[in-house]
Structure 1
Amino acid sequence: MIYLSVEDLKLLQQMKPIVEKDIDYITDQFYQTVLGVDKLQTIILEHSSIERLKKTLREHIIEMFEGTINEEYIAKRLTIAKIHKRVGLEPKWYLSAFQNLQNVFITVIYNETGKDNERLKVVQTVTKLLNLEQQLVLEAYEKENIREKEEQYLLVKNELKQKIAEFSGELIDLSIDTNAAVEQLVASSNEVNDTFRRTAASALESQGMATEGHGHLDSLTGQINLIYESTHAMERSVNELSSSSKQIQKIVAAVQDIADQTKILSLNATIEAARAGEHGKGFSVVEGEVSRLAEDTKNTVVRIGELTEQSGSLTRQVVEEIRKVQELTQSGRLQSIETSQLFSDIVKSMQVSTQEIVTVEEEIKVLIQTIEGIGSSTAQTAASAEYFKKATDNL
Structure 2
Amino acid sequence: MHGLVSRSNNDESPAAHSTDSKKLAPTATQSFHTLQGHEELNEQMRMIELTEEDLALLRLLKPGVEQEIDFITDQFYNTVLGVGKLEAIILEHSSIERLKKTLKQHIIEIFDGDINESYIAKRLNIAKIHKRVGLEPKWYLSAFQNLQNVFITAIYEQPLQEHERLRVVHTITKLLNLEQQLVLEAYEKENIREKEKQYLIVKNELKQKIAEFSGELIDLSMDTNAAVEQLVASSNEVNSTFQRTAQSAKDSQGMARNGHLYLDGLADQIGRIYESTNEMERSVTELSQFSRQIQKIVTAVQEIADQTKILSLNATIEAARAGEHGRGFSVVAQEVNRLAEDTKNTVLRIGELTHKSGALTDQVVGEIRKVQELTHSGKLQSVETSMLFTEIVNALQSSTQEIVVVEEEIKVLIQTIEGIGGTTAQTAESAAYFRSATENL
Q: TM-score range by the shorter chain?
A: over 0.9
Deviation at residue 115 of structure 1 after TM alignment: 4.0
Deviation at residue 145 of structure 1 after TM alignment: 1.7
Deviation at residue 43 of structure 1 after TM alignment: 2.5
Deviation at residue 50 of structure 1 after TM alignment: 2.1
Q: Deviations over 1:143-168 (max 9, x none)?
A: 11221222222222222222221221
In the other structure, the counterpart of 1:72 is 118
SS in 1 for 2:266: helix
Q: Deviations over 1:333-379 (max 9, x none)?
A: 11111111111111011100010001100110011001111111111
Q: Deviations over 1:161-189 (max 9, x none)?
A: 22221221111111111111110000000
% identical aligned pairs: 78
In the other structure, the counterpart of 2:435 is 389
Deviation at residue 113 of structure 1 after TM alignment: 5.1
Q: How many residues align?
A: 395
SS in 1 for 2:351: helix
CA distance in 2, matches of 1:314, 1:370: 80
Matched, 1:61 2:73: no
In the other structure, the counterpart of 1:172 is 218
Matched, 1:130 2:176: yes
Deviation at residue 108 of structure 1 after TM alignment: 2.5
Matched, 1:359 2:405: yes
SS in 2 for 1:22: helix
In the other structure, the counterpart of 1:52 is 98
Structure 2 length normalisation: TM-score? 0.87
Larger deviation, residues 126-135 vs 370-379:
126-135
Residue 250 of structure 1 aligns to which amino acid in structure 2? K
Alignment of 1:27-176 (within 5 A): 27-112=73-158, 114-176=160-222
Deviation at residue 201 of structure 1 after TM alignment: 0.1
In the other structure, the counterpart of 2:280 is 234
In the other structure, the counterpart of 2:319 is 273
In the other structure, the counterpart of 1:203 is 249
Deviation at residue 48 of structure 1 after TM alignment: 2.4
8 Å CA contact 1:22, 1:108 repeated in 2: no
* Distance change in 2, residues 1:113/1:147 (3 Å): farther
Deviation at residue 111 of structure 1 after TM alignment: 3.4
SS in 2 for 1:174: helix
Residue 193 of structure 2 aligns to which amino acid in structure 1? R
Larger deviation, residues 266-275 vs 25-34:
25-34
Larger deviation, residues 191-200 vs 236-245:
236-245
In the other structure, the counterpart of 1:376 is 422
SS in 1 for 2:157: helix
CA distance in 2, matches of 1:186, 1:50: 80
CA distance in 1, matches of 2:194, 2:162: 47
CA distance in 2, matches of 1:80, 1:356: 87
SS in 1 for 2:115: coil
8 Å CA contact 1:78, 1:136 repeated in 2: yes
CA distance in 2, matches of 1:386, 1:4: 59
In the other structure, the counterpart of 1:293 is 339
Larger deviation, residues 40-49 vs 21-30:
40-49
Deviation at residue 386 of structure 1 after TM alignment: 1.3
Q: Structure 2 regions of 5+ residues with no counterpart?
A: 1-45
In the other structure, the counterpart of 2:369 is 323
In the other structure, the counterpart of 1:248 is 294
CA distance in 1, matches of 2:49, 2:285: 156
Q: Identify the match of residue 232 of structure 2 among 186, 189, 212.
A: 186
Residue 366 of structure 2 aligns to which amino acid in structure 1? E
Structure with more helix by fraction: 1
Deviation at residue 323 of structure 1 after TM alignment: 1.1
CA distance in 1, matches of 2:256, 2:91: 103
CA distance in 1, matches of 2:437, 2:253: 62
Residue 78 of structure 1 aligns to which amino acid in structure 2? L
Larger deviation, residues 13-22 vs 37-46:
37-46
Q: Identify the match of residue 269 of structure 2 among 201, 223, 248.
A: 223
* Distance change in 2, residues 1:348/1:243 (3 Å): same
The RMSD of aligned alpha carbons is 1.4
CA distance in 2, matches of 1:114, 1:267: 210
CA distance in 2, matches of 1:300, 1:182: 101
Deviation at residue 104 of structure 1 after TM alignment: 0.9
CA distance in 2, matches of 1:107, 1:158: 54
Deviation at residue 142 of structure 1 after TM alignment: 1.4
CA distance in 1, matches of 2:410, 2:191: 63
Deviation at residue 112 of structure 1 after TM alignment: 4.6
CA distance in 2, matches of 1:86, 1:343: 97
Larger deviation, residues 89-98 vs 109-118:
109-118
Residue 392 of structure 2 aligns to which amino acid in structure 1? I
CA distance in 2, matches of 1:42, 1:273: 186
Structure 1 length normalisation: TM-score? 0.96
Higher relative contact order, structure no. (Cα contacts within 8 Å, ≥ 6 residues apart): 1
Deviation at residue 217 of structure 1 after TM alignment: 0.7
In the other structure, the counterpart of 2:260 is 214
